[in-house]
């Protein structure tokens, strides 16, 4: 009898952890987030390191969990990538990393097609300016348009459509993702 009770508690404990919030360094990712009218699930979260510096934590929220980049990209509807800064980053460095990630993971034809939207995104990133340790930067897709928020405050809305958002997602989930360990973490692997 005691073994069954202990087994029950252990099973409940493991099940609880599957849906529990996740902490990456000092950044907390809740098990769900709301974008527009849609409640999303935390797909995974991890740490971005450059050389040996901890730069940011990143979490991916989607309608349905998926363990492949293709599975994430094929989903329709709302989504969110939340970056939690673990150090101060200049606007110039932030924009440079964005452009480099897009260059490495988006083909030239797509970059040309989304060029006006990409320009709006870069303007939004420049508008944010330098980000500080502890800041939360959200790249949200409502199901129709992309927006950027910092610490819950809207910086730019109606930046672009799904093609732009998917291109941004590929920075972390693409073939040449910015960080392979982070990619696996965001995919819940």
C-alpha distances in Å from residue 92, one per residue of 4, 48, 123, 168, 186: 58, 18, 11, 17, 25
- For 12-32, the pLDDT digits (tens) are 443 344 456 899 999 999 999
Q: Taken in order 144, 148, 154, 157, is the CA torsion positive or negative?
A: negative
Q: 3-state DSSP call for residue 14?
A: helix
Write down the mean pLDDT value for the chain.
90
- For 36-49, the pLDDT digits (tens) are 999 999 999 999 99
Locus of tokens 């979260």: 45
Arithmetic mean of pLDDT, 93-100: 92
Arithmetic mean of pLDDT, 73-79: 95
**What is residue 52's predicted lDDT score, i.e. its pLDDT?**
85
pTM: 0.87
**What is residue 4's predicted lDDT score, i.e. its pLDDT?**
45
Structure tokens at 158: 């109606």
Burial of 165 (0-12, 13-18, 19+ CB in 10 A): buried
């Amino acid at each position: 009898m005691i073994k069954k009770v202990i087994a029950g508690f252990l099973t409940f404990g493991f099940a609880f952890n599957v849906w529990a919030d996740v902490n990456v360094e000092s950044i907390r990712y809740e098990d769900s987030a709301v974008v527009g009218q849609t409640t999303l699930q935390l797909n995974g979260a991890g740490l971005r390191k450059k050389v040996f510096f901890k730069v940011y934590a990143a979490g991916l929220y989607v309608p349905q969990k998926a363990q492949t980049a293709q599975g994430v990209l094929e989903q329709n509807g709302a989504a969110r990538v939340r970056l939690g800064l673990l150090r101060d980053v200049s606007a110039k460095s932030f924009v440079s990393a964005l452009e480099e990630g897009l260059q490495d993971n988006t083909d030239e034809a797509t970059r040309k097609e989304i060029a006006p939207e990409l320009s709006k995104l870069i303007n939004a990133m420049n508008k944010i300016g330098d980000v500080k340790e502890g800041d939360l930067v959200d790249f949200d897709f409502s199901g129709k348009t992309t927006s950027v928020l910092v610490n819950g405050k809207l910086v730019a809305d109606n930046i672009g459509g799904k093609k732009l958002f998917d291109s941004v997602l590929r920075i972390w989930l693409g073939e040449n993702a910015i960080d392979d360990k982070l990619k696996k973490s965001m995919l819940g692997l």
